[in-house]
Structure 1
């Protein structure tokens, strides 16, 4: 099975990159399943029902979120109606709308478990992400219930993302980090057979400060003054992600970064 994951969509330019490139990539790479982190898709802060539907129409099978999950109030009710939209699984159980994991079917009838978790280091503290991921992996084990398992670890610290990869090794097809918006150069298959990359990068304009127009972030760093809100940069976006091809038992046989368009050097699976 060929599964692709794309990092945080930032604003309109990131959505346009998905629209421009994803339909072709699904065809040329023969992708069976596509997951995208959409937590910055609505002008950089959260996601709306309309945007989610657009992204599904462009070719996304599942959308994940993170610390901006509830920035758009409509997400609080929409997420209960849309099983393809996931929020971090380590939000408090029983008191948070939506779900943090779900089992999906590909067009070919294969089962894919997608889990979304959020780190605790240098971020809003939620429940233990490792316990939450353990709960979901145990409920739908790879090779028994799920034909493939993908974990989106939305976290600030590279160490926490790396630890999640090790924690899931041999039990997931792909563990990929989001949130920091910069693609890391460490895509690899871990010893137990899990594909891993610390951060997929963003689908956004890299002539920016992590996707935002440069002026206000630089002003805040240099003056400690907030004079306006962050606004997404509007130049051509780079579509950043990673593709994993699974083999027997749902473990990774190959992993390859994907970068298309915008300012970054292009890279495609061989």
Structure 2
């Protein structure tokens, strides 16, 4: 299975670049599954239902969220009717929506997509390790599904790495989100799970993690509330990760970063020949 994960979409320029690029990427990389983190798509804070509709129309199969899941209040009533928008699995019981979805491809193959959130330097949520273990006891890689993707929305690289090693061999990919900075540690772990500490963001990198520089810098200097942060709106970059898996085992065969446009050095994956 050929899988593309795109990091946090930030603001209008991030959305527009994803919507413009994704149809071509689906064809060029012959993608079977596209997962996009959309929790910052709406002016940097949350996801509006109409924006989700546009991302799906462009070619996203699943949209994941994170700590900004409910910043756009209208998503609260919408998410229960949109099973391919998933929020962190370890939100409290009774929270609208689900933390996972099983996607059935046209050829009958199945992929599990999971969204979980870290706890180190983040909100005090339930244990993502335990809850993901419980979920995977019902969805077995290479048995009930051909691939499994986990978006681990977390601050600390140590927690992300520990989480990936804990799941190694049981999922196809553990990909970190939240820091908006692409890391250079993409690799396949010893058990066959692809990993990258952070996918980066789809947005303007001439910024402070996607936000306009001046108001963000002022907050650090003055330590006082200032004007509301808003996304930078210069040339955007597309950041993410491409993974190719073995349908028999669900394990990763190849992993490569994707970076296109904006100010980052370009990296476009080349799929393996089946």
| CA distance in 2 between partners of 1:139 and 1:31 (Å) | 26
Partner secondary structure for residue 191 of structure 1:
coil
Q: Paired residue for 2:146?
A: 147
- Once the two structures are superposed, the pairs formed by residues 102-113 of structure 1 within 5 Å of their partners are 102-113=101-112
User: How much has 1:10 moved relative to structure 2?
Assistant: 0.3
Asked whether 1:60 is paired with 2:51, we answer no
Q: Do the aligned partners of 1:239 and 1:258 also contact (CA within 8 Å) in 2?
A: yes
1:211-269 C-alpha deviation (Å, 9 max, x unpaired): 00001110011111222000000011111000100013110000000001011000011
| CA distance in 2 between partners of 1:134 and 1:152 (Å) | 15
- Once the two structures are superposed, the pairs formed by residues 1-270 of structure 1 within 5 Å of their partners are 1-93=1-93, 95-247=94-246, 248-270=248-270
User: How much has 1:107 moved relative to structure 2?
Assistant: 2.6
1:154-195 C-alpha deviation (Å, 9 max, x unpaired): 000001111111011000101000000000000000000000
Q: Do the aligned partners of 1:86 and 1:98 also contact (CA within 8 Å) in 2?
A: yes
Partner secondary structure for residue 9 of structure 2:
coil
- Residue correspondences, number: 269
Q: Once superposed, what is the RMSD of the aligned Cα atoms?
A: 0.7
Structure 1 portions without partners, runs of 5+? none
Partner secondary structure for residue 131 of structure 1:
helix
TM-score norm. by structure 2 comes to 0.97
User: How much has 1:109 moved relative to structure 2?
Assistant: 1.9
Deviates more, 1:216-225 or 1:194-203: 216-225
Deviates more, 1:100-109 or 1:255-264: 100-109
User: How much has 1:19 moved relative to structure 2?
Assistant: 1.3
User: How much has 1:48 moved relative to structure 2?
Assistant: 1.0
Structure 2 portions without partners, runs of 5+? none
| CA distance in 1 between partners of 2:5 and 2:12 (Å) | 19
| CA distance in 2 between partners of 1:136 and 1:86 (Å) | 14
| CA distance in 1 between partners of 2:258 and 2:107 (Å) | 23
